[in-house]
Amino acid sequence: MTDYTKIKSKYVKSKIINLKFTQKNIDYISDLRMIETQILEEFSDTMGATLRRYLKHKYPAEWNAIGLELNPEFVTLKNKIEKQEREEWKAKEEYRLQRKKEKIKSLKSWKEAGGKVK
């Protein structure tokens, strides 16, 4: 059972007012509560990072409103997270380029050894 009286932010509390108890509304409020958790607790594992990116993308306005309300360090934390995400993207891009270069070298070596290419 979910206890909706334990919602932490005024923002989410204001969203639940006058909502009917439907699956769509339950899912929405559950996502907002996950945003609260993500803002209040710093997750560093892959699953937490994936959930954080998903929620930030799906609910950007809600993410900012809840963050500003619950965490006075939100702007600093937001910048830190965005920097971390940029660094992760850069590392993935560098890895992809390195793999591409290795494949080109392997192809060249293959041809030099007498192998055929489609």
Q: Domain boundaries in the chain?
A: 4-71, 85-118
To which residue do tokens 């560093």 refer? Answer: 44
> In this structure, are residues 19 and 4 in contact, taking their beta carbons and an 8 Å threshold?
no
> In this structure, are residues 100 and 43 in contact, taking their beta carbons and an 8 Å threshold?
no
In this predicted model, what pLDDT tens digit does every residue of 9-57 receive, in sequence order? 999 999 999 899 999 999 999 999 999 988 887 666 777 778 888 998 9
To which residue do tokens 């699956």 refer? Answer: 23
Q: What is the pTM assigned to this prediction?
A: 0.62
Q: Residue 93: is its pLDDT beyond 90?
A: yes
Query: Which percentage of the chain shows pLDDT scores above 90?
Result: 44
What pLDDT score was predicted for residue 10?
A: 94
Estimate to the nearest angstrom the gap between the alpha carbon of 77 and the chain centroid: 14
Q: Residue 78: is its pLDDT beyond 80?
A: no
